[in-house]
Amino acid sequence: MGRITINNIEIELIGHDSFKLKTSSGKVIYFDPFAYPQSSSYEDKASYVFISHEHFDHCSVEVLRKIANENTKIIAPERCKEKIDSLPGKRIYVNAETPMKVDDLDVLVVHAYNPSKPYHPKGMGNGYVVDVEGMRFYHPGDTDFIPEMEKLKGKVDVFFVPISGIYVMDEDDALKAIKTIMPRYVIPMHYNYLEGLEKDPEKFKEKVENEIKNVEVIILI
Least confident of 73-82, 116-125, 182-191, 199-208: 199-208
pLDDT of amino acid 35: 80
Average pLDDT over residues 4-23: 95
Residue-wise pLDDT tens digits, 138-169: 999 999 999 999 999 999 999 999 997 688 89
Which among 166, 168, 176, 170 is positioned nearest to 139, based on CA atoms? 168
Q: Is the distance from CB of 89 to CB of 83 less than 8 angstroms?
A: no
Which among 24, 72, 83, 70 is positioned nearest to 50, based on CA atoms? 72
Residue 191 predicted with pLDDT over 80: no
Give domain limits for the chain: 3-217
Which among 145, 152, 142 is positioned nearest to 171, based on CA atoms? 145
Q: Is the distance from CB of 144 to CB of 168 less than 8 angstroms?
A: yes
Four-point Cα dihedral 27, 67, 83, 166, nearest 10: 80
Share of the chain above pLDDT 70, in %: 95
Quote the DSSP letter at residue 69: -
Helical H segments across 72-194, by residue range: 81-84, 171-181
**CATH classification code of 3-217:** 3.60.15.10
Phi then psi for residue 63, to 5 deg, are: -75, -40
Confidence category of residue 201, pLDDT binned at 50, 70, 90: confident
pLDDT of amino acid 199: 62
Parallel/antiparallel/unpaired status of strands 18-22 and 28-31: antiparallel
pLDDT of amino acid 15: 87
Which carries the bigger pLDDT value, residue 190 or residue 65? 65
Residue-wise pLDDT tens digits, 60-88: 999 999 999 999 999 999 999 999 999 99
Q: CB neighbours of 186 closer than 8 A, spacing ≥ 6? A: 158, 159, 161, 178, 208, 215, 216, 217, 218
pLDDT of amino acid 50: 98
Q: Which residue type sits at 203?
A: K
Q: Is the overall model pTM greater than 0.85, yes or no?
A: yes
